[in-house]
Structure 1
Amino acid sequence: MSDAPLRAEGLECIRGDRLLFSGLNLTLSPGQLLQVEGANGAGKTSLLRVLAGLSRPADGEVRWRGLDIQRNRTTYFAAMVYMGHAPGLKAELSPVENLKVSAALRDRMVDDARIEDALARVGLRGFEDVPARGLSAGQKQRTALCRLLINPVPLWILDEPFTALDVRGIALVRELLEIHLANGGMALMTSHHALEVRGDCRSLHLT
């Protein structure tokens, strides 16, 4: 595992006056999925935010292709997509507009046809121009999932990606994960759902 693109060593995370985890090590290689498990409050979201470079650990470091992600944020963020608990949509913008903003923030130009194809794939054909405030929670989550389709990057970090999705939506996420892994992608995720994803899937349990 010495050639694993993502490597974390000796991670420690403190929230308030509570130690969530300490001495945590992990690696992630192409084609692998790591599901972070644990009870509510165990630090799953905190760990994903540290691994995404959005929070700093109290100790330890995260490296991407051998480089500390905090010192090489631009390179790391260009190789990773993070999906948090909230879909991160602007209420007054449509799905197409929200996805254009998302792409622009990554310095990428994505044409309307590609965005519309992504929306159709997640079941939002006909909702392309509806302001996000008029979408259901599940439709907002499906819009957020389109970021994975319009931003082809090797690493996905997903915090509860099944939230608000129906059975078909859950099946869609599993399909996207399987395709991503089969193409050599990597994924880190939390989920209260049992994973039934084909590929090299592992778990990390936080106590």
Structure 2
Amino acid sequence: MQLISVENLAVARGGLPVLEGMDFAVSAGDIFVLRGPNGAGKTTLLRTLAGLQPAFEGTITADPDTIAYAGHADGIKAVLTLRENLTFWAGVYGGQGIEAAMEAFDLTALADRMAGNLSAGQKRRLGLARLLVTGRPVWVLDEPTVSLDAASVALFGRAIRTHVAGGGAAIIATHIDLGIEETVFDVTPFKARLDKMSGDFDEAFL
């Protein structure tokens, strides 16, 4: 079952196109990995797919209520415990499975610790565990393994495999080999033509 598709898609940063002419589809069971150098536009593409900004051109066909996005920020509340954070997000999305989410990312022993007192890696694992309580089938992930050690990357890889085996899909920008079967989409050939950009255009944070 096709969960998201794009046709002749162009995405922009600050009103200027950075990628254009993209056509692809992601179906249930797919792990779709974006590749390309820093500044190529991967973050902009992910934010557009997640509905956080409009497409510059073209169409995106997807139900927005099927998409869960995790960007560079962990999306946690420092003044709540780890358990309270997951309970909050489960309430927002109408999801459940808080205990299973904590177990999947080895967080059970930290359940009552204030999120603000977690290490960077623990915060990242909590941010990723949040995906499991959304109940949404399409995970759109921007460099999800930042701050994770090798053992935590393995936990993430297992969570992804379980998610897609259950009919979900993932679209991921990462330079890390996750050891999973994936479809690679290199954004480099879709860089917008230079004549569409001003000479002082800053490619940071694309």
Q: TM > 0.5 between the two?
A: yes
Contact kept? 2:101, 2:129, Cα under 8 Å = yes
**Counterpart in the other structure of 2:72:** 85
Contact kept? 1:91, 1:131, Cα under 8 Å = yes
Match of 2:114 among 131, 138, 161: 131
Cα drift, residue 118 of structure 1: 2.1
Match of 1:76 among 64, 68, 76: 64
Rounded Cα–Cα distance in structure 2 between residues aligned with 1:76 and 1:16: 23
Q: Runs of 4 or more off by more than 4 Å in structure 1?
A: none
**Counterpart in the other structure of 2:48:** 50
Structure 1 residues 135 and 8: alpha-carbon distance in aligned structure 2, compared to 1, 3 A threshold: same
**Counterpart in the other structure of 1:72:** none
Deviations 1:43-86 (A, max 9, x none): 1011001111111011111112xxxxxxxxxx522x22111111
Structure 1 residues 17 and 52: alpha-carbon distance in aligned structure 2, compared to 1, 3 A threshold: closer
Deviations 1:137-180 (A, max 9, x none): 11011111212322332211111111111111000111111122
Contact kept? 2:144, 2:174, Cα under 8 Å = yes
Contact kept? 2:121, 2:149, Cα under 8 Å = yes
Matches within 5 A, 1:1-207: 4-16=2-14, 18-64=16-62, 75-77=63-65, 79-106=66-93, 108=94, 110=96, 114-198=97-181, 201-207=182-188
Matched residue SS, 2:22? strand
Cα drift, residue 18 of structure 1: 4.4
Matched residue SS, 1:153? coil
Unaligned runs of 5+ in 2: 189-206
Contact kept? 2:79, 2:114, Cα under 8 Å = yes
Rounded Cα–Cα distance in structure 1 between residues aligned with 2:152 and 2:144: 10
Deviations 1:104-144 (A, max 9, x none): 222x164xxx4234213311222111111100011011111
Structure 1 residues 33 and 109: alpha-carbon distance in aligned structure 2, compared to 1, 3 A threshold: closer
Rounded Cα–Cα distance in structure 1 between residues aligned with 2:102 and 2:12: 39
Rounded Cα–Cα distance in structure 1 between residues aligned with 2:58 and 2:74: 29
With the length of structure 2 as denominator, give the TM-score of the two structures.
0.85
Structure 1 residues 192 and 109: alpha-carbon distance in aligned structure 2, compared to 1, 3 A threshold: closer
Structure 1 residues 134 and 149: alpha-carbon distance in aligned structure 2, compared to 1, 3 A threshold: same
The percentage of counterpart residues that share the same residue type is 37
Unaligned runs of 5+ in 1: 65-74
Matched residue SS, 2:171? strand
Rounded Cα–Cα distance in structure 2 between residues aligned with 1:109 and 1:175: 20
Contact kept? 1:10, 1:22, Cα under 8 Å = yes
Matched residue SS, 2:108? coil
Q: Which moved more, 1:15-24 or 1:93-102?
A: 15-24
Computed over aligned residues only, the root mean square deviation of the Cα atoms, in angstroms, reads 1.7
Supply the AA of the counterpart residue of 2:51: G
With the length of structure 1 as denominator, give the TM-score of the two structures.
0.84
Rounded Cα–Cα distance in structure 1 between residues aligned with 2:103 and 2:57: 43
Give the total of aligned pairs. 188
Cα drift, residue 22 of structure 1: 0.9
Matched residue SS, 1:126? helix
